[in-house]
Structure formats: structure tokens, C-alpha cells
Amino acid sequence: MSFNRLSIEQVLYGLAILLALTLRLLNLGAIPLADSEALLALQAFDVSQGEKVAIDPQPGFAALTGLTFALLGSSEFTARLWPALAGGLLVIVPYFLRRQLGRGAAIILAFGLAFDPGLVAVSRQADGPMLSVGFSLLVLGLAIAGYPILAGVAAGLALLSGPALLPGLLGLALAWGASLLFSDTEEGDQLLPAAWDEKALRKGVPAMLGTLVLVGTLFLRAPQGLGGWIAGLPSYLSGWAQPSGVPALRLVIALVVYQPLVVIFGLIGAIQGWLRGKRLVKVASLWLVFALILSILYPARQVHDLIWALIPLWILAALTLAGLFADSGENSMISLGHATILFIFMTLVWVNIAGLGQSEPGSPGYLTRLAVVGGVIALGAVTSGLIGLGWSWKTAQNGAVWGMCAILGIYTLAGMWWASQVRDPGRVELWQPFPSSAGTRLIIETVTDLSAWNIGDTQALDVTLAVDSPALHWSLRTFPSLSVIPEGEQLISMGSPAIVITRQDVEEPGLAAEYRGQDFVFRTYPGWFGALPPNILRWVAFRLAPLQEEQVIVWARADLFPGGSSLSEESPPAFDIPGLDEP
């Protein structure tokens, strides 16, 4: 019987890992790299080409991704591959913590980490935060499971993952220290083994140091990589003096909007755990508090800083849900009927909230939908009260928990899909990196088409990039005749390249005289001030919000088109030239 239970458990963990990797690898290269991603990917590309490159404080990403580029080629998919793998392997950590969490809570935690919108979205970004979280928690799991060498390797990779590691370790250390101040823990409530013996340390520490040296020097090819690792602490500290412009409230909004299920049950679990004196809950809730404080107060904050808070929040929610599901056998059919009714009610609430997002505030339709939302919520409360009085409050509680898990679980899955897969025009996902590279693909298609038409090779034209855009530089990296010049530098001395890419507001009379141009959107930002979009309900329901755009002009030399060598000839222009008709 024990073997059968273990086999089912292993199948569930295998399913969780498979789903996690699928969600993180599916269409991984479909979206162009944002500037923040492309900056790191270009370093890794230079590493793969054997060039000397200045390594930023994320040498682990540069080394691992550079090796991947050398073996599999450089692309958006391979640039994001290691964060995706780290995010997928994160799901196996609950398996190593079964004794501390309980089997049911560990399985719930595994699936929660697999489907969480924030964790999935950050896993699909070519950056270091997910490497920090994934490898750090693997250290804990592998050490507990008795694999000191693998734990040492994971520790070395975590240390090389960049400044994002520091707030995570600081928050966990503060939480652990604060939990020691409370002496009313349950007897036998041990979170970790009493001690890791000297034999394990003798294996783990050399593995960690070897990984630091091997990966930190970019596989012994760039000793300056270790300098980039050492610069991680100054880089993080400098963020306390360099505001990012992201409002602190935006992080709170992202947490509540994308993860209402885990927020509700996590807070319930934290309150219950403190009342019952459970040290695991105390450590997790303190970790959550310190992680939120460090991410919200950090001036250089980004929404992806919240991933450190998601781990303890999911631990609390998993413990709560496991306890509720384990004690839900009373009047199960009544509870199921109650859950179905609440599911229907909450679906009606959602439909009317979506309608509110499309209506003008104060209009008759708006007020009607608002009244329907309030009425349906009141009707759900009355239904729960009647079931509690007619059968038992435990039966009513079970039905409410099942109904909330069903509707909020579907909402969480939808949010995960929007944040990781859907990139429709006008949609704004707070978990995506900004600025996003909206029109990069269209720009590259235009340049490659011009090259193919004229020479027969899609990358034969000489291109000059006069825009400080790592995303465009990344997309043009394989053009052998690419020249990159700083913004604002005069273009007169560059000769007559076939293609010139400048900002839209750059005035170059020579370009207008000898080139034909077309403008393209290449960057988008959230187009509102403050934490919330102007129509919050419309954004919650459809993710639609104002966007601010930046544009470039792709200038193509006139002799690339039928009709002659300059625009003075009578051939009709193939591109619109901004300002050409102005006196």
C-alpha cells in the first residue's frame, strides 16, 4: 500500500514538472527580447564568439547562455532557455520538503509553483532573477535530500546569478532570525535536519568553489567574469540611489490582481499558523513580510522582484489548502452542490465586472451592472449562511473553499496564460519587462526583404544602427556589415550605407535627400502615471491600458528601389518620408 501511494506521488510530481517545463518552453522564442534581456543576451553572444567582453554582475547567465549559443545557436529561445529550465526545476523542490510540509501540502505547492503567473512569466525572461530563485531553493532541497555535491553546484550557480540573489537571501535570513525570538514552537517542529555533517560540507563546499571558478570565468576563458560576480553587491546597493520610476503600489496591485487565490489562502494560513504556534508558518510569513518590504522599498524596484515573496506565500497557501482538503469529508455532496452554486455566482460577478470595464462610470448600464455585482455577492453570502444553518458550518466552509478554488484557480490559469503567451496590441502585463520591443520583428523583416530583393541574401546589406537599443542590436547581430554608432553622433562621416536606422525625431537633411524612409514603433511603455491604469476594471478584465510608443525610421538608400539612385527622380517613393513635403 505504501509503495502504491509513493508511486502515485511520484507520478504527480512528474506531471507537475512536465507541466512546468511545457508552460515555460512553449513559444519561448515567439516574443522579441526586450532591451533589458537583449543587453545580457548580447554579452552571452560575444562570449559564444570568443570575444572579450565586459561582464555585468550576472556572469552565470553570460557563461551558461554563451555555452548554449555555441552549441545550439543564438536565438530568443536559447537566450531564455536557462531561466526557463531553472523555473521548471523549481517545482521539484517541494518533493525534498515533504517531511517539513506534509505530503499533501508539498504536492499542492509543486503545482502552485508550476502554474503561478509571476513565476511562469519571469521564467520566460532572459534575465537573472529566476536563476537566483531556482538555484537557491535547489540548494536547500538537494542538501536536505542528501546530495551535497549537487547542492554545492547549485549554490555556485546561485551565487553567480546576479544581484537578485541578495534581497532573497537577506529576507530569508531576517525571517529565520526573527522566528528564533519566539519560543512557543511545537515540540518536534523542526524545519531542517539538526546539522549537516562535516562529511557533507567537505563535498559540497569544493563543488561550490569549483562551480564559482569554472562558470565565473566563463569556462576559464574570461577571468574578468569573477570581477562581474564581485560587482553584484555594489550593483544592488547602487539601486538604493537610482529609482526605477516603478511605483511601489504597482507591486502590490500585481500581487493581488494576478494571484488572488494564493493571497487569500496564504493570509488565512498565516493567521491560523500564528494562533497555533507553528514555527514553519511563522518563518514563511516572516519571510513573506521581509520579502515584500525589501521589494517595495527598493528604489530600483521592478515587478519581477516579487518572485521572492511568491515562494513563502505559496508555502502558506499550500499548508492551508492541504488542511482544508484533508478535513472535507462531511456532507461532501452538499458541499459540492454549494461549490457549484458559488461557482455560477462568481462567474456572473466576473461577467459584470468585465462589463463595468467597458461602460462609462455613472451611466445607467454601469450602475445596473454594479447593482448586479453587489446583489450576486449578497446572494452567495445568504446561500452559504443557509447551508451552515441547515447542515453545518463545516459543510458551508467546505463548499465555499471548493467554489473559491475553482473560480480563482481558473482566473489564475488565465492570468498565467496572458502573462506568458498572449501579446496582443494594447495589452499590458505588469510581469513583462518594460520597455517592450513591440515592432522589432517588423523592422528586421523590412531590412531582410530589402537585402533579398537587391542581392539575393537576406543579410548582405550594410546596416548602420544609430539608436541606443540593445533589442535592435540583438536582432541585427548576425548582419556581417552592421555598424553601431551612439545616438546623437553625426551621420555625415559614416559614408553611404544601404540601411540607416535613426530615431524619428533625428533631423538629417542628407538622409531625406538620398534615402527613403518609413517609421516603425520599436518600444512601448505603460502610458499612465501612477500605479493603476486609468480604467482599472478594463485592465483587470482585458489587460487593455494606454501605451506610450517610441519610433525609429528605417532609411533605405534610394538606389535599392526601382527607378534610380535618388529621390529627385520621378519614380514613386516606396516608403513614406516624414517631413519630405514640408518647406
Each residue's pLDDT tens digit, 121-143: 999 999 989 999 999 999 988 98
Residue 28, pLDDT > 70, answer: yes
Number of residues that make up the chain: 583
Model confidence at 54: pLDDT above 90? no
223 CB neighbour count, 10 Å cutoff? 12
Mean per-residue pLDDT for 217-237? 80
What pLDDT, on the 0 to 100 scale, is given for residue 583?
A: 38
**Cβ-proximal residues to 24 (8 Å cutoff; 6+ apart), any chain:** 84, 85, 87, 88, 120, 123, 124, 420
Separation CA 47–CA 306 (nearest Å)? 30
- Mean pLDDT across 454-468: 89
Of residues 2 and 331, the one with the higher pLDDT is 331
Q: What is the pLDDT of residue 264?
A: 95
State yes or no: pLDDT of 58 exceeds 80: yes
pLDDT at 219 over 70: yes
Give the pLDDT score at 328: 64
Is pLDDT at 571 greater than 60 in this prediction? no
Residue 515: CB atoms within 10 A of its CB come to 25
pLDDT score at 192: 54
Q: Does the structure show a pLDDT above 50 at 325?
A: yes
Question: Is the pLDDT reported for residue 30 higher than 60?
Answer: yes
pLDDT value, residue 573? 43
Mean pLDDT of 111-125: 95
Query: Which residue has 553622433 as its cell numbers?
Result: 489
Give 158-171 as a DSSP string.
HHTT-TTHHHHHHH
Q: Is the model's pLDDT at 52 over the cut of 70?
A: yes
239: pLDDT strictly greater than 50: yes
Greatest CA separation found in the chain?
91
Residue 567 has pLDDT above 90, yes or no: no
Q: Quick one: pLDDT at residue 199?
A: 79
Question: What local confidence, expressed as pLDDT, does residue 344 receive?
Answer: 94
pLDDT at 522 over 70: yes
